[in-house]
Structure 1
Amino acid sequence: MIPNPDFENATSADHRMSLLAKYAGRLGFEVVDIAGFLDSVDEQSKSQIAVLADVQSSATDVMTANGAVRDALTTVTSITDQTLNRVEGSVGFVRESGQKSQHVASWVKDLSERMERVASSLSAVEADNTNIADIARQVNILAINAKIEAARAGDSGRGFGVVAEAINELSRKTARAAAGIEENIATLSEWVGRLREEATGVSTDASHVISSASETDLALTEIAQGVRKTHDATRIMVTEADKVRDAVARFQPAFDQIGKAANATAEGIHVAHERVDKLINTSETIFQTTVALGGASEDLVFINKVQEAASRISALFADGINSGRISRSDLFDQSYVELANTNPQQYMARFTAFTDEVLPAVQEPMLEFNPKVVFCAALDPNGYLPTHNVKFSAPQGHDPAWNAANSRNRRIFSDRVGLKAGRNTEPFLLQVYRRDMGAGKFMMMKDLSAPIFVDGNHWGGLRLGYTF
């Protein structure tokens, strides 16, 4: 059994055992501090490995995307090659067609001008023919008058009458010919007028063709220049994509090596952490053994106190069963019901209401016997802590960080220290751990626990946390 003397009066303890207990405690402190440092390094290495994995994945994605881009650019370059050839061919064809169109347009414009001159000539001919017709009418009148005068002259005017008749006949023929000419000139003038109107319209279109041909030639030239620039740009992009591919290909192996080294380092840290955990267990065992063999320790007053409190809880639990306040099955129940809208998650068990009634009478006074004491709470083998000290049992709010620090009841603490405290069946267990104070700060604390038995059945343990 563990001795139960006050530390100040423990002068009979073997001095060497006391020194061993003292050094075992110091060893535990240092080992736990190292373990905490390894925890931090382990987390950082995991984070770095995750980042490296993301980088490697991103590099692979870059290679894949760059390959796709390069393939697309190669296709675009090929298409622009073909387009450029076609556009340049089209420019030459359109330019040649434009030149021919300009020649045709020029001929049409010249034809329009010639039609104008023909129309003018026809107008002049028509005027001359009108004059001829007028002269013929006048000659006809003169011939008629001459025939009248010849008739009056009798036989002496008969020869003159014949001449007058011949002149009259000639004037009639001349009039008929002028009338025919006039009709033909009118028809021809109508045709020429129509041709002139059509030629004027065609001439306008020809002028537009000449203007459009120049604009089309300019536009196609600009298109060809644009396609040529696009073609040149895609060739440059293909070259740059090749550079990216080569660069990624160069640093990919380096990333792979870094990743392998980081994984090896993380594995080494993990192995070291496991070995340190074993060393923590060894240091705790050394301390417990030296105290059990009579070594004096400054922790004896806490050990005795927590054992007494654990015994009182055992008695309260047994009385609860015997009085019918709680059944044995409910007290040892290990089914936990999640409480809605809690963060961190809180739970209820079938014995929570009972522990809320009986545990404060034991746990609260434990905070007063020594100023080093920070908390005192019972928990079951699964780390479920139903009833905490009042100062750590505030109703949860909206801030999870505040809840984690101030609403620690009805929580499951499945960390190494919590589980060992709840599962320990030795007379006591003294552990050293780093308590997270937030903002990256930690406080080294001692966690002392004693088992709680109910009629010989292990229920859990009573934890007592205090500072160095």
Structure 2
Amino acid sequence: MQHTPELAAPNAAEELGHLTRAATSLGRETVDIGGFLQNLDDRCHAQLDSLGGVQNHTKNLATNSERMVQAVQRMTETADEAIDRVEKSTSFIARNGQNAQELAEWVRSVHSESTTVEEMLQAVRLSNTEISDIAWQVHILAVNAKIEAARAGQAGKGFSIVADSVSELSQKTADAADTISATVARLSEWMARLHQGAQTTSQKADEVLDRSAEADHALSEIEQRMGSLRDDAHGLSSETDAAKESVDQVGGAIQTIITSVKDVTNGVDEATRRCNTLVDTSENILQHSVALGGDGDDSEMITHVQDLAGRISEVFESALSRGRISFEQLFDESYQPIPGTNPEQVTTAFTKLTDSLLPAIQEPVLQNDPNIAFCAAIDRNGYLPTHNQKFSQPQSNDPVWNAGNCRNRRIFNDRVGLKAGQNQAPFLLQVYRRDMGGGNFVLMKDLSAPITVRGRHWGGFRIGYKI
């Protein structure tokens, strides 16, 4: 009988090593996905903000469109009323123009007939002069007849009576002639003034008659243009109605887009939350696998960070023992902003102490391992008082440059920073994207170990190194 060879039992340490590396890889991939989701979430929120602004502008545009439609409607009604009034006014002016033409023609006729009237008055004047002469001659004859009757005596008495009557009649005739002369003189003066006025008026009448055609043409043109204005107003009314309808449609489309983007944003937020949970899970798997003896790529770094955290605990306790700082000052949480800093920097009662003690521990770490990007101690709230020298530059006027080069005395209360500061387990390994400012991110590992002083948790020591 043949025996099947037994399979060798798996090496537990080796499997834990695989598990450790798998957990690290899972964390890296999950953080990368989380970064993508975060960027997508930021863009979604930015789009929502932009769409909100567009929606507000669209609402304002819709309101203005409604007002414009109402204004155009009023303009159309006004144009209709105006063209109606223009037509009535044109008809009235046309009638007045006709009357003016007839009046001008009459003035012309008066002016032309005034000469004839003057000639007639002159004839009357001449005739009246002859009547005056005849009356005077009759008066002379009556006087002579009365003289002869007086010579005749009693026989000429009847003839004397006739002579007196003739004399009286001639006197009345002379008086009437004088009256006629005076009347004719006044009539002549009136006719002269009438002639002069008729002459001036006739010239104006000629202008009226000459320009009557121009006036008719101008009135016709006014009527045509008002008709065009009315037609344009009605056309504009139709266009504004169509524009308002388009604006309303755009508003509805924008609302639909906003609703869709909100749904996407909510989905991205949920995916980000789940991704963060998955990151936490991968970190817990890594923690437990290393605790069980898993030999991952980070084993030596874990030992290193724990040793550095222990050294910082020792120098803090030594400072307390020597009276360089009080226990309350070492755990001070009253962060005082430094005026004019951007991003904001703060100080506490222990900042000067860390500036004097920590560089001797932190700087050699960077010099001995070029793969390490930074190492620094933070308190339990994420406050980083003393950073590496290359990240502790004086601030400039450029906030973007400051964000990447002036990282000391700042509070990093993001998820990674707070977890590193608040962690009290032997170590914490996190994978994250480091914000270098200006939209630049670097995928990093963040390894930290707790710092305790006289049994109280002060914070943690962080080492960041590239993946």
Answer yes or no: same fold by TM over 0.5. Answer: yes
* TM-score interval (norm. to shorter): 0.7 to 0.9
CA distance in 2, matches of 1:214, 1:421: 100
2:234 alignment counterpart: 235
Q: TM-score, normalised by structure 2?
A: 0.83
**Aligned pairs, how many?**
443
Q: After superposition, what is the alpha-carbon deviation per residue over 1:34-63, rounded to whole angstroms, capped at 9, x for unaligned?
A: 111111111122223333334444444433
Partners in 2 of 1:455 and 1:226 — Cα distance? 98
CA distance in structure 2 between the partners assigned to 1:429 and 1:45 by the alignment: 32
Q: How many angstroms apart in 2 are the aligned matches of 1:92 and 1:269?
A: 75
The one-letter amino acid paired with 1:399 is D
Q: 1:296 offset after TM fit, Å?
A: 1.2
Aligned to 1:342: 341
Q: Is the 8 A contact 1:13 1:296 kept in 2?
A: no
**Identical-residue share of aligned pairs (%):** 43
Residue of structure 1 equivalent to 2:32: 33
Aligned residue in 1 for 2:315 = 316
> Is 1:27–1:283's contact at 8 Å kept on the other side of the alignment?
yes
Instruction: Output the CA distance in 2 between the equivalents of 1:249 and 1:172.
Output: 106
SS in 2 for 1:335: coil
Matched ranges for 1:116-135 at <5 A: 116-123=115-122, 126=125, 132=130
Residue correspondence of structure 1 range 237-276 to structure 2 within 5 A? 237-250=236-249, 252-276=251-275
Q: Any conservation in 1 of the 2:403–2:437 contact (CA below 8 Å)? A: no
Q: What is the DSSP-based 3-state SS (H/G/I as helix, E as strand, rest coil) of the residue aligned with 1:367? A: helix
**1:288-317 CA distances to partner (integer Å, 9 max, x unpaired)?**
211111111222222222222211211222
CA contact (8 A) 1:73 1:238 kept: yes
Give me the whole-angstrom Cα distance separating, in 2, the residues matched to 1:428 and 1:398. Answer: 38
Maintained 8 Å contact 2:132/2:177: no
RMSD: 3.6
Superposition deviation, residue 408 in structure 1: 1.0
Residue equivalent to 2:462: 463
Deviations 1:381-424 (A, max 9, x none): 22221111111111111111111111111111121111111111
Q: Are positions 1:426 and 2:413 aligned together?
A: no
The 5-angstrom pairing of residues 102-181 of structure 1 reads 102-123=101-122, 126=125, 132=130
Letter in 2 for 1:392: F
Task: Show the 5 A alignment for 1:27-426.
Answer: 27-123=26-122, 126=125, 132=130, 182-207=181-206, 217-250=216-249, 252-426=251-425
Letter in 1 for 2:385: P
Contact 2:132 2:173 in 1 (8 A): no
> Do the aligned partners of 2:75 and 2:233 also contact (CA within 8 Å) in 1?
yes
Q: Distance in 1 between matches of 2:220 and 2:415?
A: 80
What amino acid is aligned across from residue 44 of structure 1 in structure 2?
R
With structure 1 as the length reference, what TM-score do the two structures score?
Answer: 0.83
The residue type equivalent to 1:359 in the other structure is: L
Unmatched 5+ stretches in structure 2: 1-10, 149-158
- Contact kept, 8 Å, 1:307 with 1:450, in 2: the verdict is yes
Which digits, 9 at most, give the CA deviation of each residue in 1:304-362, with x for residues without a partner? 22222211211222222222222222221112222221111111222222221212111
Q: Cα distance 1:356–1:124, how it changes in 2: closer, same or farther (>3 A)?
A: farther
Worse overlay, 348-357 or 368-377: 348-357
**1:120–1:347 CA distance, 2 compared to 1 (3 A):** farther
Aligned-pair CA distance for 1:180: 5.5
Maintained 8 Å contact 1:379/1:462 = yes
Residues of 2 paired with 1:364 and 1:60: CA distance? 59
| C-alpha distance in structure 2 between counterparts of 1:114 and 1:397, whole Å | 105
How far apart, in 2, do the equivalents of 1:87 and 1:55 lie?
A: 45
In the alignment, structure 1 segments of 5+ residues that lack a partner are 1-11, 152-161
